[in-house]
A and B are shown apart, each in its own frame.
Chain A
Amino acid sequence: MGLFTPDRSQYPAEKVDGSLDIDLSSGKYLKLWQGPQHPGITGNMSVELTVCGDEVVEGKTHVGYLHRGFEKLMERRSFIQCFPIVCRICVPEPDFNEYCYAAVVEELAGLEVPELAHWIRNLILEMGRINSYMMYLGGQAGALGMGVIGQWTTYARDLMLDRFEELTGARIYHMFILPGGVRDRLPEGFAGRMEETLRELEDIMVDVEQTMFRNAVFKRRTVGMGVIDPDWLEPYGITGPNARAAGVPRDVRKDFPYLVYPQLDFEPVTGQDSDIYTRADVRRRDVLLSVDLIRQILARMPRGGEVMTRLPNVLHWKIDPGETYIRGECSRGEYGYYLVTDGSGYPRRVNVRGPSYTHAMALLERMIVNVNIADVAALMVSLHTYPPEIER
């Protein structure tokens, strides 16, 4: 696996529309589907590979296995009825949907959110980030045959899910951040139990670092592989760890500060080599950054105050015409909500901007060329894509 080779003489000729002129009847090429049921695929999507020998000459991403039409569903629901469904848009990291949806509605409705609610929201987003990275680390190791890492990180994720259950009453879909604030305060003794969880998590991360990142096979198959050229960042809309691993400190938490990030002390984690190994390492260090941020939040958050502002009667809640966009930095990059209102009790249009949209489609299709079939899974996982947010 390597960089996209500008010399295309060994490859099928390009047609006028940019697609490749592949003659399947020549016997030289083979169509191979990776997914939608495949251990080396990230969730509900598939990649249609055209291979020559064991090398990929063309890859096309296919999504649509998980389309639930959320954006359309929300146009028929009142603003408060939309809130419990948005978290289902992204399964492994649902809280960003809740936050972004709440924030766009608050901005257009002119709601002020209490200070304490900002801190609790920030805490939840960082906890969700750790969970999402735990799934990623397990998947990245698993794609290269190291199944045991996934068992450790799943255990670590489960510890954090316990904290989520304690705080929100739910493990996966929390439905905790709603327009106007959050549903409740932290339970008694939460900070102490969270500290225990964080310490255990740090121990697991030491094991992961020593077993995964110092493993000869892992290094051999990831160092120098799947390089994202920094010049591709803008054309392909690359954000998050994929961009930071290319040496570009692009982090919405720092660039467009929201919630209480301006009051927290942190620097975006970056890498230099932009290969699969660096992207994994950036995410591993980002977990440690999130651990640090959770400690800062718990130590500095106000001890009392309201967590929910007073909402109008939510059954007859109308919002004046307007449109806005709110973004946040999720574990994969820039996550955002675009909301248009028309003065009625229903959203006119909600559009979800998930980072996987660009990473899994245009970028993956470009990067997959020249890759050995055995490395496709590792490359795909290294972009950290979640198909549900592509098709919403």
Chain B
Amino acid sequence: MQTNLLDIHARLQALLPVGELQTQRADLAFLDVPPSLLRATLLQLRDREGFTHLVLLTAVDWIEQEQFQLTYLVCNRSARLDLGLRVRIPREPASMESIHELWPTAATYQRELREMFGIDFPGSPRLDEDFILEGWTATPPYRRDFDTLKYAEETYAERPGRVTYDPAAHMQQQLYPGER
């Protein structure tokens, strides 16, 4: 019988108090996992359920709720299923357990998250080395409270004679003339 995400979720729930499954497609679902259960859930998925491929690890800044959402997307190739584990951690201080021993490649993702979102992953290799930005001391730039436009205006000089047209006004005229 073909495994599906509901069966996998039922088996997971029998072992660990994970959240409800939110199905996006037949082959993709998301699942809320408390930070303390992440490693156990990932190990169970990787070693027992065949989710051996770490597709991506990224963060979403829910600044209104003072939280970061970390998304660990894992894939079971033979069953052709994807499962996204969503872990909510506080924004301050932002810290999460490292998973670089489970997937060595996760260390790269964690280095990027450290630099771009300021999320700490204690023990992850070369975490404090510059990844993309060099000598960056301001707010981590991918946080919602970092204003790209303000930073650019403060950091770079305006070229004299440069004119900026509002793209939205131009598109309004081109695509929907007469409409508001």
Contacts from A to B (Cβ < 8 Å) = 17-19, 63-64, 67, 69, 71-73, 75-76, 78, 80-81, 107, 234-237, 250, 255-256, 313-315, 322-325, 327, 334, 336, 338, 340, 348-349, 351, 353, 357-358, 361-363, 366, 391
Contacts and interface: CB of A to CB of B under 8 A. Distances in A.
Contacts of A313: 176, 179
Given A17-B125, A250-B77, A313-B176, 16 more contacts: A64-B132, A69-B148, A76-B149, A81-B167, A235-B104, A236-B105, A237-B53, A237-B103, A237-B105, A314-B175, A349-B58, A351-B71, A357-B108, A357-B109, A361-B105, A362-B107
Contact of B105 (A67, A69, A235): A235
B133 A67 contact: yes
The dominant DSSP class at the B interface is mixed
B97 interface: no
Of A17, A78, A349, A366, chain B has the most CB atoms within 10 Å of the CB of A349
Interface stretch (B9-17, B22-30, B35-43): B22-30
Contacts of A81: 167-168
A234 B60 contact: no
B52 interface: yes
Given A64-B130, A72-B141, A324-B25, A336 B52 contact: no
Interface residues of B, number: 46
A251 B4 CA distance: 21
Contacts of A19: 125-126
A72 B125 contact: no
Contacts of A361: 105, 108
Contacts of B103: 234-237
Nearest to B176: A313
B23 to A, nearest CB: 11
A6 to B, nearest CB: 16
B47 to A, nearest CB: 11
Given A64-B133, A334-B55, A325 B73 contact: yes
A351 B116 CA distance: 12
A336 B27 contact: no
B82 interface: yes
Contacts of A78: 168
B179 A323 contact: no
A349 B73 CA distance: 15
A319 to B, nearest CB: 14
10 contacts: A17-B126, A64-B132, A72-B142, A234-B52, A237-B54, A315-B172, A324-B24, A336-B55, A349-B58, A351-B71
Interface in B53-101: 53-56, 58-61, 71, 73, 77, 80, 82, 84
Nearest to A77: B167
Contacts of B132: 63-64, 67, 391
